[in-house]
């Protein structure tokens, strides 16, 4: 019997690549997104039949999407919590509305998706929750303070949740991509729009923009690399919690383990700000 994976944020980037890869491996794939009509032609051409509306900040759409999956396939084996985006810029220049929206999508939406699927997984006495976080969930980066804080929250949530669910044969894993070549740095990036008197952050923003222009944070691994890592985490049969993805994410984790904090922070500042 085919297994079924439910993926949030599947309209582009990592979510889209993951949906296509699981489908190529013979899985039933529920590809959920806020505006499935905009991606219908592309994904149907690729053979994916199940495009479902889902806004992780809307509880009724979460319930409807899961009900569709269960009605069609009777069982969901894996939930991939991938939906998310980033607020970029100085914290002081962000608005309360930006901070709230960032948490509603990256943290509270992920939690509500998880809460919704748990009764199904407990009834099955089987299930896997994969939360797509970031190397920024293990280490802070300049001008990503709000985004990093959400990914740290998801890392802590995932690490603690695994203990609660073990007796129900439900596993929890996190995927921690480094820089990935997606529209994350374009369409999925929300820049701080608040005003700060005398623009005291102009210098750090200039340095960051120069670094981006030189290809630093704008280059990285292909989304397919993350898709394959998610599939590997799904099928390896282990209870391993964390999966860094990409040479940069693996290097950052290694350096954090071996270097004093001040040295590591100096290296990251040099790399990200020039």
- Fold classification of 4-204+221-252 is Rossmann fold (3.40.50)
| Under 8 Å between Cβ of 31 and 240 | no
Give the residue from 175, 180, 190 showing the smallest Cα distance to 128. 175
E runs forming strands in 68-182? 78-81, 86-88, 127-132, 170-177
Catalytic, out of 21, 88, 147, 243: 147
Average pLDDT of each block of 10 consecutive residues along the chain (274 residues)? 95 94 96 86 79 96 97 97 94 93 98 98 98 93 95 98 97 95 62 62 80 57 95 97 92 87 86 77
Model pLDDT, residue 274: 67
| Token pair recorded at residue 61 | 């759409």
Model pLDDT, residue 217: 47
pTM here is: 0.90
| Close Cβ partners of 196 (under 8 Å, ≥ 6 residues apart) | 90, 92, 93
pLDDT in tens, 190-213: 776 555 555 788 888 888 876 665
| Token pair recorded at residue 142 | 């300049």
The yes-or-no answer on residue 147 being catalytic is yes
Model pLDDT, residue 225: 96
């Amino acid at each position: 019997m085919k297994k079924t994976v439910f993926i949030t944020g599947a309209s582009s980037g990592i979510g889209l690549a993951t949906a296509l890869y699981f489908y190529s491996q013979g899985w039933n794939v529920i590809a959920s997104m806020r505006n499935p009509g905009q991606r219908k032609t592309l994904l149907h051409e690729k053979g994916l039949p199940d495009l479902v509306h889902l806004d992780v900040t809307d509880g009724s759409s979460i319930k409807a999407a899961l009900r569709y999956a269960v009605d069609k396939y009777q069982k969901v084996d894996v939930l991939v919590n991938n939906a998310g985006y980033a607020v970029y810029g100085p914290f002081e220049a962000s608005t309360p509305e930006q901070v709230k929206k960032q948490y509603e999508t990256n943290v509270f939406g992920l939690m509500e998706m998880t809460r919704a699927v748990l009764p199904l997984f407990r009834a099955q006495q089987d299930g896997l929750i994969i939360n797509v976080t970031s190397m920024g969930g293990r280490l802070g980066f300049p001008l990503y303070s709000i985004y990093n804080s959400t990914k740290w929250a998801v890392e802590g949530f995932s690490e603690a949740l695994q203990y609660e669910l073990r007796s129900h044969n439900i596993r929890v894993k996190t995927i921690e991509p480094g820089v990935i070549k997606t529209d994350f740095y374009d369409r999925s990036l929300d820049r701080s729009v608040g005003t700060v008197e005398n623009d005291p952050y102009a210098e750090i923003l200039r340095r960051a923009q120069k670094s981006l222009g030189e290809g630093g944070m704008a280059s990285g691994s292909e989304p397919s690399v993350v898709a394959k890592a998610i599939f590997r985490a799904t099928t390896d049969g282990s209870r391993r919690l964390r999966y860094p993805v990409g040479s940069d994410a693996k290097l950052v984790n290694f350096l954090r383990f071996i270097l004093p904090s001040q040295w590591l922070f100096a290296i990251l500042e040099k790399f990200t700000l020039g």
